[in-house]
Structure 1
Amino acid sequence: APAAWSEVLDRLTARPPLAGLPGGMLVMGILNVTPDSFSDGGRTDPEAAIGAGRGLVAAGAGLVDVGGESTRPGGVAVTPADEIARVLPVVSRLAAEGVCVSVDTRHAATMAAVLEAGATVINDVSALADPGAAEIVAQAQAPVVLMHMRGTPQTMDAHAAYGDVMAEVLDELDAAIGRAVAAGVGRERIIVDPGIGFAKTAEHNLVLLRGLPALANLGCRVLLGVSRKGFVGAATGQARADRRAVGSIVAALPGLAFGDVILRVHDVAQTVEALRMWSALHGVVEGVIGPQGIGKFGK
């Protein structure tokens, strides 16, 4: 019955602006302040990281995602104290300069510290699994990314077994949404991420990307992170992660089925250029790519 669909339709069509930015396609620039991230680790000097963050914004990023712990397969876990020491100077400075800062963390203590320091968005690969994390996000009324993963970054490769990967990822994300809402997180503040490359084989990743429009059934904004990942290298034959920009952009195209997708990328300038071209081809005259938007084409 039409009435039964009204709540879902309202969620899909009347979502408020996210993180102070209007709806539309957004590019989230990746800023790792870790010594061991898979493609760009080693940027641990705060001043260098702050400069890199400014560069991401200048290139068109609408959000800068700061991470202090590598979540690559088999990455070394860090304590919340070490993570806070890495990210806090960067978050504080960028937020003070008006940058919309997201922090990639799975630790409740880090979430509390960075939200206090001015971060706007929490991006959690564990979907708020850490005790107290959901309550901290709820109290701050912060937008939060809930990503699908099984196990931890250290163990996830052992959990890449599915009967129907699309159905199981949807079910597990739906359960994560339910837990967050039960803890007081507003559903309109939840962003879902299918977790490409996390407890997934290369074939699982391709299946998820082919079926990505099914994520609309969850009624939340979608974040897609495919940038420089191993399955892109496998498909393109490009062994070097920092040379996978073209393959990464093509892999992200299924996400454009969502008008307000967030693309988490390393190569911001190239992604923005590709999205401008895609928008022009598809007649998208009102969209957002970065803080200044994409403008109106043909005028």
Structure 2
Amino acid sequence: MKKIKKYMHWILLSPYLTLFIIFILLPIIVAIYLSFTYFNAIQSPRWIGLQNYVNLFTRDEIFMQKVLPNTIKFSLIVGPGGYILSFILAWLVAQLTKVPRTIFALILYSPSLTAGVTMAVVWRVLFNGDQQGYLNALLLKLGFIDKPIQWLQSPEYLLTIMIIVSLWSSMGVGFLAMLAGILNVDETLYEAAYIDGIKNRLQEIIYITIPSMKPQMLFGAVMSIVQTFTTAGIGVALSGTNPTPQYAGQLIVNHIEDYGFLRYEMGYAAAVSVVLLIIIYLFSKIAWKLFGDN
């Protein structure tokens, strides 16, 4: 009985550890191995060392000139933008009473659940390239344009539309975590802070709210980073093609899908996946430095 108690925590953790090893750890190890091989999904993987990484950074002009800049621009706007927007909206919703707070939280959270469906039903109709598209019809009626614009097929507009759609659907679990964190801040802290000299709501947020909900802020930051860098379907769903027109909306995950599932260059796709994993890890470390317990 004592031996069982000694290893009870491992017994309780075993279901999670089993799933973690099978579905996360092993795929990462396999991806790292395949990234050093040539693998076309038909023949056995052939070891080529660092050749995939050399090709990625020195010969893949699409990756260096289109995919990487697109991903950086998309991530720097959608990541921090969606994160800040989540906090602001969570704080505003937290000021409401229970019933309207629940309703507004559900309204803001629902786009993150139905983004794929609504993207096809709402956004493609809104940005349709003919004169029946809502935006084109409005601009034609107001006289701002004299012919319809191909919003979703134009390299000039596609990435901007992707950013708008992503921000619209960015109120996910990070938003709910922040809302929960704000609602659970001890009210006595605010009372003590005003006695100590805090004079307005902005100081209240900076000195009381944010420091009191660091775990939720960290969780929201990590979820925002992962969601931003692993976003794949937006550009493809909007434009209807992969690669997107002139690679204007091509992100790293789209590049992985292009080489892995369209060209069947699995080794090269694995190398891009490893680069993406490293990028996510580095940004997660930055989030931990900002909001973790140092």
Task: Give the structure-1-normalised TM-score.
Answer: 0.26
Instruction: Give the number of the structure with larger relative contact order, counting CA–CA contacts within 8 Å between residues 6 or more apart.
Output: 2
Task: Give the structure-2-normalised TM-score.
Answer: 0.26
Name which one, 1 or 2, has greater alpha-carbon Rg.
Answer: 2
Which protein is richer in strand relative to its size? 1
